[in-house]
Amino acid sequence: MKFIQNYIGGELLPPDSGKYLDNIDPSRGKVYSYIPDSEKSDIDKAVLAAEKAFPAWANTPKEERSDLMLKIASLIEARLPEFAEAESLDNGKPVSLASHVDIPRAVSNFKFFATAILHFASESHSMENLGINYTLRKPIGIVGCISPWNLPLYLFTWKIAPALAAGNCVVAKPSEITPMTAFLLSEICIEAGLPAGVLNIVHGLGQKVGDAISRDPKIKAISFTGGTQTGETIAKIAAPMFKKLSLELGG
């Protein structure tokens, strides 16, 4: 049995609790691996790692950030059959679907945002003789990303890639139902040489890990896709803290 690990500060680590949750193959109804039953302390470590990494990452030239993200995309693409098999086993969808949609789109997500940062332009507006208004794009800090079970790597990378491209650091939680490709992404990031703490992936239950992400004052923005009730809970917690929110809700 495989034990999935958290990815914190550039390392694969067990949860502080020492406890694991069953990861079930839905096609057979059998446990085939175990995921960390993480708690607030694991999020605290991830936020600290992201906080340490942020100054250097935010000031890394966009060309270097782009190159690293393109390398991640290339490494995922090189292991596409493995990722597709893992997505199928974890999620229950056909391997052919994961091979032609989910994993290629995850690769495209990294490629798209890696190249987008090289080509954007800002508009300016003259105020006659008073001055000029212009848009200044800069990273805001640590971003929390919480993704659903139905398109595990596809939507996970859709959240992570733009945040990293913009120079933010990320604390991310994949669905506890479909965690395997997020774990494989951890291995890819280590292989690609992504600086420690730039991306942190913490596995576990929403009421523990997701709640800790929503409440942490150092996390400045949250992107969530999932159920309406959970989204409402996140909004009630995060909105009074003036966090930037992106919520895609359904069900």
pLDDT (tens digit per residue) in 198-219: 999 999 999 999 999 999 999 9
What number is the average pLDDT over the span 210-239? 93
Tell me the HSE value of 27 on the side-chain side, using a 13 A CA sphere: 12
What's the structural domain count of the chain?
1
Q: Is residue 43 part of a domain?
A: yes
Instruction: Report the percentage of the chain scoring pLDDT > 90.
Output: 83
Q: How confident is the model at residue 251 (pLDDT cuts 50, 70, 90)?
A: low
Q: Is 127 a member of any domain? A: no
Please give the Cα distance from 173 to 170 (Å, whole number): 10
Residue 124 lies in a domain: no
Whether 207 is covered by a domain: the verdict is yes
Which CATH number characterizes residue 161's domain? 3.40.605.10
Per-residue pLDDT at 250:
74
Sign of the torsion angle spanned by Cα atoms 45, 11, 64, 224:
negative
Q: Mind listing the pLDDT tens digit for each residue in 71-111?
A: 999 999 999 999 999 999 999 999 999 999 999 999 999 99
Structural domain containing residue 48: 2-118+139-249
Q: What is the pLDDT of residue 181?
A: 98
E-assigned strand segments in the chain: 2-3, 6-8, 11-13, 20-25, 30-36, 124-126, 132-134, 142-146, 169-173, 199-201, 219-226, 244-249
Is residue 242 packed enough to be buried (19+ CB in 10 Å), middle (13-18) or exposed (0-12)?
Answer: exposed
Give the range among 81-95, 137-151, 180-194, 234-248 with minimum mean pLDDT.
234-248
Is residue 132 a part of any domain in this protein? no
pTM to 2 decimal places: 0.94
Is 130 inside a domain boundary?
no
Domain for residue 88, yes or no? yes
